[in-house]
Chains A and B, each alone.
Chain A
Amino acid sequence: DSGVTQTPKHLITATGQRVTLRCSPRSGDLSVYWYQQSLDQGLQFLIQYYNGEERAKGNILERFSAQQFPDLHSELNLSSLELGDSALYFCASSAGLGAGTGELFFGEGSRLTVL
């Protein structure tokens, strides 16, 4: 158990819909990262938050958005869903900002299926 909790574990929805994925980081971790894992694209970095502020942005579509709340949990919002958005979405957390401060701890992921 990594200490990172993601909900829901599985989600099936239709094209055009909107979903919200939730992540609770390890206790005390200030950084939250979102990744998308798909068969064709592999593990793609989406976005990072540190203590409520956006710190880095990767290959995140404009239809996607995220935020980190004062209690440090994070939500990833996916809207106008397309078939190609079907993927496993991972949340990870770390104590600090730099990779030199330690590892990223990953949740078990939220599997999104868009029909």
Chain B
Amino acid sequence: AQSVTQLDSQVPVFEEAPVELRCNYSSSVSVYLFWYVQYPNQGLQLLLKYLSGSTLVKGINGFEAEFNKSQTSFHLRKPSVHISDTAEYFCAVSGNNQGGKLIFGQGTELSVKP
């Protein structure tokens, strides 16, 4: 079985500052890793995904994440955030034998202040 832990429930940050949202996972099989974003009153939208290959993954809106197998982490980073990045961010994992279902972390609320 897989599980995901997002280490911060809330991350306040000032506009144009860098941000890192932390995610750790556990799994007994090879995994695929994802970050989704949820804006208020909307569904989830894929930011980026790691399936295989390069451990540094670039996504939409300037976000990137690094897969670290030894530390079982998949932290999300952005060098300079905007007010419009204010949203809830979810890390998710899927085992390569799990038929596609995603197991989500509890979410991190990113609040960007002017």
Contacts and interface: CB of A to CB of B under 8 A. Distances in A.
B43 A106 contact: yes
Given A100-B51, A109-B43, A43 B96 contact: no
Interface residues of B, number: 25
A56 B101 CA distance: 8
Interface stretch (A12-20, A61-69, A73-81, A89-97): A89-97
Interface of A: 2, 4, 31, 33, 35, 42-43, 45, 48, 50, 55-56, 58, 90, 92, 94, 96-101, 103-109
Given A56-B98, A100-B51, A100-B52, 18 more contacts: A42-B106, A42-B107, A45-B103, A45-B104, A48-B101, A56-B101, A90-B43, A94-B100, A97-B99, A97-B100, A98-B94, A98-B99, A99-B102, A103-B34, A103-B46, A106-B44, A108-B43, A109-B43
Nearest to A42: B106
A90 B41 CA distance: 12
Contacts of A104: 46, 100, 102
